[in-house]
């Protein structure tokens, strides 16, 4: 009897020495949604994260990744994550998250012509916006996992679009975001907000004449085929965010929460590097597909920047609570120029 009691004591001590969640092998399901297409750096990175979480949690967290908008539009995905039922995590553009749950701060990085270089965008996101964005997301029931990247958005049209006047001839698809719609309005362009799943059919049937997005997303989604011109306007740098349901994260033991989050800084840098490494090659691929690729001159780009100035100013006027953080953003940018 003493021997049995001693063995029982050792077993109890051993259980305390190991993380309870991993010892018990409790299963937690993490369904992750995104509109990112398969065969892209985004998909590759998500699958690597999926493998890391499974391995490090000893299978306690089961991750399933749903690509290509199979779980709905970006706005629908965000709404699902907020409930923490069908989806517990996702990767979306910052403006989509901000629009879906009314966090204007997340729309700020996508103001037209706010950034000039990748370095500027990285510094503002990592050094200025990380903490306030994390706090704002948590107040709405989300946990910020890390930054990701879509990249520099450009205009893709069925004809030349080197000036605001030329662009105004086309009916353009806009992302479902008040900032993006406001930019088109400032440029005198008729624009209609459409989820990614509706863009290609609308281009093929002539419902719209163009869109704006990055080279990577344009090719991966097949949107390049119906257009004839791709204009390197670089009018919006579009970050993305990996977010999780706070309800789901709070349900995890502390050790599993740390495993799911991983290293946000390293993960963010990895994603940016993978996307940026392909940009020039993809631009050349668009040209190789017989499309006219036009790199705007400094003067041409200035015309677009000036035409959208009121979008930036109006955003701050309409969101007075963001004035302090916007001042920090401008100060950071000024120090780098």
Domain presence at residue 11? no
- In the numeric block, the tokens 């893709």 are attached to 156
Q: Which domain holds residue 194?
A: 27-336
6: tokens are: 């001693």
Domain presence at residue 232? yes
Domain presence at residue 12? no
Domain presence at residue 2? no
Domain count, the chain: 1
pLDDT tens-digit series, residues 82-105? 888 899 999 999 999 999 999 999
Domain presence at residue 181? yes
Domain presence at residue 58? yes
Mean pLDDT of 273-284: 96
pLDDT tens-digit series, residues 141-186? 999 999 999 999 999 999 999 999 999 999 999 999 999 999 999 9
* Strand-pair category, 142-157 with 210-213: antiparallel
Domain presence at residue 299? yes
Long-range (24+ apart) CB contacts under 8 A made by 161-164 are 161/210, 161/229, 161/231, 161/233, 161/294, 162/231, 162/294, 162/296, 162/300, 163/300, 163/303, 164/188, 164/303, 164/304, 164/307
Phi/psi at 148 (5° precision): -130, -170
pLDDT tens-digit series, residues 13-57? 333 333 444 444 569 999 999 999 998 999 999 999 999 999 999
Give pLDDT, residue 21.
Answer: 41
The CATH number that applies at residue 323 is: 3.40.190.170
Give pLDDT, residue 309.
Answer: 95
Domain presence at residue 14? no
């Amino acid at each position: 009897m003493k021997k049995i009691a001693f063995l029982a004591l050792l077993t109890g001590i051993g259980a305390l020495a190991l993380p309870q969640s991993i010892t018990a092998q409790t299963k937690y399901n993490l369904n992750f949604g995104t509109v990112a297409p398969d065969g892209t750096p985004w998909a590759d990175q998500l699958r690597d994260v999926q493998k890391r979480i499974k391995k490090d949690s000893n299978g306690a967290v089961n991750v399933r990744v749903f690509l290509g908008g199979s779980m709905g539009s970006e706005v629908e995905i965000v709404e699902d994550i907020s409930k923490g039922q069908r989806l517990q995590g996702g990767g979306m553009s910052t403006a989509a998250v901000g629009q879906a749950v009314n966090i204007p701060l997340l729309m700020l990085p996508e103001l037209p012509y706010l950034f000039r270089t990748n370095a500027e965008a990285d510094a503002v996101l990592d050094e200025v916006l990380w903490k306030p964005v994390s706090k704002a997301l948590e107040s709405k029931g989300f946990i910020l996992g890390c930054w990701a990247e879509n990249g520099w958005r450009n205009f893709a049209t069925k004809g030349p679009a080197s000036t605001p006047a030329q662009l105004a001839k086309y009916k353009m698809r806009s992302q479902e975001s008040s900032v993006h719609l406001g930019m088109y309005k400032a440029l005198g362009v008729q624009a209609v907000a459409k989820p990614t799943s509706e863009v290609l059919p609308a281009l093929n049937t002539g419902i719209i004449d163009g869109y704006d997005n990055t080279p990577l997303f344009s090719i991966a989604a097949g949107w390049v085929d119906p257009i004839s011109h791709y204009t390197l306007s670089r009018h919006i740098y579009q970050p993305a965010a990996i977010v999780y349901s706070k309800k789901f994260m709070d349900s995890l033991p502390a050790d599993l929460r740390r495993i799911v989050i991983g290293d946000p800084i390293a993960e963010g840098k990895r994603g940016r590097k993978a996307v940026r490494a392909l940009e020039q090659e993809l631009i050349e691929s668009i040209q190789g597909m017989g499309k006219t690729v036009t790199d705007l001159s400094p003067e041409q780009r200035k015309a677009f920047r000036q035409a959208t100035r009121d979008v930036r100013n109006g955003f701050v006027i309409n969101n007075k609570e963001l004035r302090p953080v916007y001042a920090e953003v401008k100060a950071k940018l000024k120090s780098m120029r």
